[in-house]
Amino acid sequence: MERQLIIHFGAGSLGRGFIVPILTDSNCDVIVVDVNEKLINKLKQTLEYTIYIADEEEGKRERKIKIKGALSSINDIDELKRVLKEVKTVTTSVRKENLVHVAKLISEVWRFDDNETRKVLCCENLENASDYFKKLLFSTVSDDKTLEQMKKIVVPDTMVDRSCSASLEDDLLVYTEKFFEIGVDREVLKDTNIKLIPSVDNLKQCFYRKRFLLNTYADSVAFLGLKYNISTLREAICDNRVQKELRPYFDLVKKSLEVGFGMNTEEIEKWNNFYRNERNKSKDPNVTSNKRALSDIARDMWRKLEREERFIKPLLILKDNNYNIDPGLNLIRDMVESEAKKSNMSKHELINKIKDMWAIDASGEYIFNYISELV
């Protein structure tokens, strides 16, 4: 079978630790693109790097990942445009704020071609990544004919999950774990033509199950762990004070998956136990969940406190369905007070900020009013 050529944007830990290995294991040739000149130059020289699967059995932990090539999105732009014109599939793991650069480049190179067979898989931890990327893509054109060409590009929503962290000592080493999940929305793309990236039904449920049970949990534990001067995620997860304070809020988070996305209690608890136990059973210090610093996890909290993000969305789902969310609001109060203190916000500034963030409907106003009376 002829090997498919794919361009992957993003040579960070998720790209090298997860997406590129998935593509190469699917019989694809991968060209990696990044702005990091130092890393790209090393990848050009070696055309391979190492992933260390920390919870794998002895003898299988280190894997060499071979790539077709590496290009700088700054210094190799002409070659990048040439190759981009040839490929039918692009994948990304560049973070939300950098997708605009990928969209501009794709628009420039693909705007005059027949794009019916072309697709972009945004492998980002981002809700509605498809709509977001298409909006960026469409904003780059001004005439109807080119817009119609851009609309032919298939951009399905994608769900990705694998813990990865880059080595601080070796630029060509990424630590990761055995467990991973990846899938794209079958309603948009019936077949990715990539062996290990399946099209799945009910992608939204999968996304929020992972977002709430894993991301919301980890960020909440990180915030509380810092409150008790704990340094790593594993320590915080095992701390009784953290778990006691988290429980009222997280019980609501789990309930929101039932109410908002149709998961049954048994299924929710199965996945919750998996995330808590299976992913944290290894004692190897190189396992990413063991060594991640809480300060690295509990960052960008104002973004995570937005209405559609991991902390507030579960509460809005429940309030919209007439559930009592008061037991979970003390944790949210603590979070906004902590972030306000870091930013030297006055009480007046804090009140205005959370009002703008949340109070655009009845449920959001309830959360705003409750919190504003406590801060």
In the predicted structure, residue 169 carries a pLDDT above the cut 80: yes
Strand partners, 65: 49
In the predicted structure, residue 219 carries a pLDDT above the cut 90: yes
Query: Which pLDDT score, from 0 to 100, does residue 350 have?
Result: 96
Contact 252, 326 (CB under 8 A): no
**What rounded mean pLDDT belongs to the chain?**
93
3-state secondary structure of 57: coil
CATH topology of domain 4-201: Rossmann fold (3.40.50)
What's 2's DSSP letter? P
3-state secondary structure of 191: coil
pTM: 0.89
pLDDT tens, residue by residue, 67-98: 999 999 999 999 999 999 999 999 999 999 99
3-state secondary structure of 360: coil
Residues 130, 133, 137: CA angle, nearest 5 degrees: 130
Secondary structure percentages of the chain, helix, strand, coil, to 5: 50, 15, 35
pLDDT tens, residue by residue, 104-124: 999 999 988 777 789 999 999
Residues 204-374: name the CATH superfamily: N-(1-d-carboxylethyl)-l-norvaline Dehydrogenase; domain 2 (1.10.1040.10)
Contact 345, 353 (CB under 8 A): yes
Structure token digits, residue 61: 């932990």
What's 232's DSSP letter? B
- The domain locations on the chain are 4-201, 204-374
Structure token digits, residue 136: 């960026």
Query: Which pLDDT score, from 0 to 100, does residue 115 have?
Result: 72
CA distance 79 to 18: 25
| pLDDT interval class at 352 (50, 70, 90) | very high
Secondary structure element (H or E) that encloses residue 32, with its range: strand 28-34
